[in-house]
Amino acid sequence: MAVDKKKLVDLYTRTLKVRLFESKVWDLFGQNLIPGTLHLYLGQEAVAAGVTAALKDTDWIQSTHRGHGHVIAKGADMKRAMAELLGKATGSCKGKGGSMHITQFDAGVLGATGVVASGLPIAVGAALSCKMRKTKDVVACFFGDGASNNGTYGESMNMSAIWKLPVIWVVENNFYAMGTPIAWTCPSETIAQRAEGYCIPSKVVDGNNAVEVYEATVEAVKRARAGEGPTLIECRTYRMKGHSRFDPAKYRPKEEAEYWLSRDPVEIIKKIAIEQGALTEKEAEKIKKKLEKEVEAAAKFAIESEYPRPEEALEDVFAEVA
Amino acid sequence: MPVMTYREALKQGLREEMQRDERVFIMGEDVGKNWGGAFKVTKGLAEEFGDERVRDTPISENTIAGAAVGAAITGMRPVAEIMFGDLITLAMDQICNQAAKMRYMFGGQTSVPLVIRTVFGGGKNIASHHSQSLEAWFMHTPGLKIAVPAFAYDVKGLIKTAIRDPNPVMFFEHKLVYDKKEEVPDEEYLIPFGEARVRREGDDVTVWGTFLMVHKALEVAQELAKEGISVEVIDPRTLVPFDKKTLIDSVKKTGRLVLVTEETKTGATTAEVAAMVQEEAFDWLDAPIMRVNAPDTPVPFSPPLEQFFIPDHKRIAEAIRSIV
């Protein structure tokens, strides 16, 4: 499948936007401006970019504990996202969620969840809802290699298959569940093999290559919208940082880390876009400058925003009964 | 006014809501054509509304609950059934970490209008995995509403309110009240959450309880009336929101309180209610608050063991007499 030039620029822009956002987050975290912990998306940007570039605005994504990249790539407002990470009242969750629950419903994000593998059943329900309401929208559900060891994986694969639901299961296989290598906890060579028993077609792609992710997602979305059911895409990728804030990831073999870290998702999509004549160095730089400005503005907004009043802790437990 | 069973009244409520709102659908294990629900509550609804809206599921409790969450936040009004209350343990993450917390942790961006129906209680000799009463677990989870209907009239009005509520509602039933009959209007009515019902008025002692224990308390009250003891019986109907006023007003009138549920005693809803009443009405109490619960054991199988486990008329009467 040939990816048109406009889409290549889109893929570059989305990948870079996530990179710049996350780099700024890391920077602010270093300045003690972000409370709690972080699971950075650095290194996996091409997955979120490739998947979301194949979706419509009205399609949904289900995110994870490593969710900043998903949300930003889907088109969330960066100011409200950054403010949420800083625990500010102007955050998308009014400072009640933070990094692990970073969510913007109006951008088509069903939620980011702190419980590994808990997003899969929610994606099943959202897809069932799309099907019952006949909206033709689809749901892309991100989860990690580690999540595929949880019971909800089997339950959700099965339910989505028997009901032919419009779901795209996106496994981000970064080869580690915290510090545990996937080879220790999964007997098969790929996560994709696990979909076979549920009669779900699957594909393994280079998760650091936004074009590969995009192409696989386009196919999966096509099947989903046609009512042919779910597809699983295994995106093989790697964390640039450790699992969470203070993890130097020393458990990863040197050669393995060097190999993956030499394959920068931003550089890969930039090279492809330039080679295909979709972008010049100068244009790429211009896009970067523009995004940097947006990210700076988001950081400034977040830093200057007020914290919530303490008593706001009591609000939003229940919705008002009409 | 027609007399019908709790089961029929509940089904009538479900049917009315499905007719009224096409977003409402039922899903769960064996809720459809072949079975009609383990306790036959949904029998006939699949024929009436189709397999899509009365949807049989695989045995996947956590994903049944999670799918209800996903459907609820995207515009549907799911009513998910967990076949036995004991099996809700398999769905706890989706209920307590997702449904209950989503609105809060996303800062009010969404609400989760779902109903999870399940059934508690012993008395059928089906042992430790099919007989428990676990309502207190959910009372301890902010973000969930809890309905505990014990009568046919209440179950119809409450299920309709539950389905229309924009929040997750745990709708708990009891195995031994499905066949209890009462007058139930054919026409539509709603029962607001947070309004207890005084099932019998009395002056000497207040008995507060749930499910089958309300029925037992009423029978005990009738017996004790012959001894000259006047018992007021209160059914909360919902645990969250909780109608404090009706209970506190009653305690201020009688000065005595006995709490009766089928839960194991430690950490039961009765413990919470006792603490709340002593905080708010200590000066009106003329005697210690008494609790009548099951012992702190799993639910046993053999009939004499199970009968010993479940609070009976005798224990309720003894608790009342001990403080009057």
Residues B26 and B170 in one domain: yes
Of the candidates B164, B178, B153, B148, which has an alpha carbon nearest to the alpha carbon of residue B42? B178
Exposed e or buried b per residue across A115-137, where buried means at least 16 C-beta atoms within 10 angstroms of its C-beta = bbbbbbbbbbbbbbbbbbeeeeb
In a domain, A321, yes or no: no
Mutation target to probe the B interface, by most B beta carbons within 10 A, among A132, A137, A198, A199 is A132
Task: List the single residue in B74, B107, B165 with the smallest CB-CB distance to A94.
Answer: B107
In a domain, B94, yes or no: yes
Q: How many structural domains does chain B have?
A: 2
Q: Tell me which residues of chain A, numbers 109 to 128, contact chain B at a CB-CB cutoff of 8 Å.
A: 110-111, 113-115, 118, 120-128
Q: In the sheet where A139-144 sits, what is the strand order?
A: A109-111, A60-62, A139-144, A167-173, A231-236, A202-206
* Cross-chain residue pair A125–B104, CB shorter than 8 Å: no
Q: What whole-number distance in Å separates Cα of residue B60 and Cα of residue B66? A: 10
What band does A1 get if pLDDT is binned at 50, 70 and 90?
low
The sign of the CA dihedral A207, A208, A212, A217 is positive
Within 8 A of A106 by CB-CB distance, chain B residues are 109
Q: Tell me which residues of chain A, numbers 83 to 102, contact chain B at a CB-CB cutoff of 8 Å.
A: 91-97, 101
**For A138, which residue in chain B has the nearest alpha carbon?**
B74
In a domain, A121, yes or no: yes
Residues B179 and B213 in one domain: no
pLDDT in tens, A173-193: 999 999 999 999 999 999 999
- Mean pLDDT for the stretch of residues A140-167: 98
DSSP B23-75: TEEEEETT-STTTS-TTSTTTTHHHHH-TTTEEE--S-HHHHHHHHHHHHTTT
Number of neighbouring beta carbons within 10 Å of residue B161: 23
Q: What whole-number distance in Å separates Cα of residue B218 and Cα of residue B200? A: 7
What is the distance of C-alpha A203 from the center of its chain? 18
Q: Are A288 and A16 in contact (CB under 8 A)?
A: yes
Residues B59 and B140 in one domain: yes
Residues B106 and B230 in one domain: no
Task: List the single residue in B58, B69, B108 with the smallest CB-CB distance to A122.
Answer: B69
CA distances from B132 to A77, B26, B77, B207, B312 (A): 47, 24, 28, 22, 16
* A152: three-class secondary structure by DSSP: helix
Return the pLDDT at B159.
Answer: 98
Which of B118, B152, B183 is the C-terminal boundary of a domain? B183
Q: Are B219 and B313 in contact (CB under 8 A)?
A: yes
In a domain, A319, yes or no: no
Return the pLDDT at B58.
Answer: 98
In a domain, B192, yes or no: no
* Cross-chain residue pair A97–B107, CB shorter than 8 Å: yes
In a domain, B190, yes or no: no
Residues B220 and B144 in one domain: no
* Cross-chain residue pair B98–A122, CB shorter than 8 Å: yes
In a domain, B189, yes or no: no
Which of B127, B153, B183 is the C-terminal boundary of a domain? B183
Residues B38 and B129 in one domain: yes
Q: Where are the alpha helices (DSSP H) in chain A?
A: 5-30, 45-52, 68-74, 78-85, 119-132, 151-162, 182-185, 193-196, 210-225, 254-261, 265-275, 281-304
The alpha carbon of residue A155 is apart from the nearest alpha carbon of chain B, in Å, by 6
Q: In CATH, what number is assigned to the domain containing residue B47?
A: 3.40.50.970
pLDDT in tens, A206-263: 999 999 999 999 999 999 999 999 999 999 999 998 888 788 899 999 999 999 999 9
Domain region containing A91: 5-314
User: Is B140 a catalytic site residue?
Assistant: no
Which of B122, B148, B183 is the C-terminal boundary of a domain? B183
Q: At CA B290, angle to CA B284 and CA B296, rounded to 5?
A: 150
Residues B100 and B231 in one domain: no
Residues B28 and B171 in one domain: yes
Q: In CATH, what number is assigned to the domain containing residue B212?
A: 3.40.50.920
In a domain, B80, yes or no: yes
Within 8 A of B93 by CB-CB distance, chain A residues are 115, 118
In a domain, B67, yes or no: yes
Q: What whole-number distance in Å separates Cα of residue B114 and Cα of residue B144? A: 10
Residues B176 and B33 in one domain: yes
* A165: three-class secondary structure by DSSP: coil
Within 8 A of B193 by CB-CB distance, chain A residues are 321
Residues of chain B with pLDDT under 50: none
Q: How many structural domains does chain A have?
A: 1
**For A59, which residue in chain B has the nearest alpha carbon?**
B74
Q: Are B66 and A125 in contact (CB under 8 A)?
A: yes
Largest CA distance in chain B: 58
Residues B31 and B164 in one domain: yes
Residues B220 and B108 in one domain: no
A88: left (phi over 0), alpha (psi -120 to 50) or beta: beta
Q: DSSP label at A207? A: T
Q: What are the beta bridge partners of residue B118?
A: B172
Q: What whole-number distance in Å separates Cα of residue B112 and Cα of residue B78? A: 10
CA distances from B205 to A130, B249, B280, B312 (A): 54, 12, 17, 18
Domain region containing B252: 197-323
Residues B80 and B13 in one domain: yes
Q: In the sheet where B77-81 sits, what is the strand order?
A: B54-56, B24-28, B77-81, B115-120, B169-174, B145-147, B238-240
In a domain, B301, yes or no: yes
In a domain, B125, yes or no: yes
In a domain, A41, yes or no: yes
Q: For residue A63, give both structure tokens.
A: 């995110």
Tell whether pTM > 0.90.
Answer: yes
Q: For residue B239, give both structure tokens.
A: 């645990």
In a domain, A320, yes or no: no
| Complex ipTM value | 0.97
In a domain, A28, yes or no: yes
Task: List the single residue in B58, B62, B166 with the smallest CB-CB distance to A319.
Answer: B166
Q: In CATH, what number is assigned to the domain containing residue A196?
A: 3.40.50.970
